Homo-oligomer: A and B are copies of this chain.
Amino acid sequence: MTKALERREKLRVDLIRAAEQMIAERGLSGLKTRDLAREIGCANGAVYNLVADVDELVLRVGSRTLHRLDEALSAAESTGNPSPQETLVRIAIAYCDFAAENLELWRALFEHRMAADKILPDWSVNDQLQLFRHIYHPLALLLPERGREELGITARSLFSAVHGMVALGLEQRLVAVPLPALRKEIAGLVRAMIDGLVARAK
């Protein structure tokens, strides 16, 4: 690897790190190419040698966020009471905690919209699909008679439901719920959902 390419790679990493920090501090709408350039010590235009456009930059930050989220969910998956139901509750709570602790980065995952004609790169799509896998496994234990396809859909629904509670719960727009209350609500509703799913499966 030549010296120039090394420097380029290092700059690209710096750029993504700076973008991550900027989103974390000022939100997705606070991300500005000129500020980034100043931060990593290059000209405004040079950003476009490291990255095609800001869309890609946001996606790269999103990929990092998704991987950290994945780790947080993995930790929750394998810690504590191994009953599938309580595992799912822990995963949901871990999702809530991650969102609260990484509020702006987590929001950026869902706020960001690309032009309708541009298609998501494969690596970004994959990053997202990996998430459901945490839910799939415990769910399969609880609903053994369901097929792969059906389980996948249910896993996605369960994730979406928890996501909704977290998303609206952390929104300050409406009456703000204190975080401990939100965690309790999520735990309660996840348990209820699973109870209901298992009972209906009988």
**Cross-chain contact of A196 among B129, B173, B195 (Cβ < 8 A):** B195
CA–CA, A18 and B168, complex, Å: 29
Q: Which residues of B contact A113 (CB under 8 A)?
A: 27, 29, 111
Q: How far is the CB of A31 from chain B (nearest CB, A)?
A: 14
**Cross-chain contact of A163 among B168, B175, B186, B195 (Cβ < 8 A):** B168
Q: Which residues of B contact A111 (CB under 8 A)?
A: 111, 113
**Cross-chain contact of A174 among B129, B181, B197 (Cβ < 8 A):** B129
CA–CA, A136 and B199, complex, Å: 24
A157 adjacent to chain B (CB < 8 Å) = yes
Q: Who on chain B is nearest to A115 by CB?
A: B29
Contact with B along A182-199 (1 / 0, CB 8 A): 000110110111111101
Q: Are A160 and B153 in contact (CB under 8 A)?
A: no
**Cross-chain contact of A153 among B27, B158, B185, B196 (Cβ < 8 A):** B185
Q: Are A161 and B165 in contact (CB under 8 A)?
A: yes
In the complex, 15 of the A-B residue pairs with CB atoms within 8 angstroms, ordered by the A residue number, are: A29-B113, A129-B175, A153-B185, A160-B169, A161-B161, A161-B189, A164-B164, A188-B200, A191-B196, A192-B196, A192-B200, A193-B196, A195-B200, A196-B196, A199-B199
A120 adjacent to chain B (CB < 8 Å) = yes
Q: Are A181 and B153 in contact (CB under 8 A)?
A: yes
Q: Which residues of B contact A173 (CB under 8 A)?
A: 120, 125, 128
The 3 closest A-B pairs by CB, nearest first: A164-B164, A192-B196, A196-B196
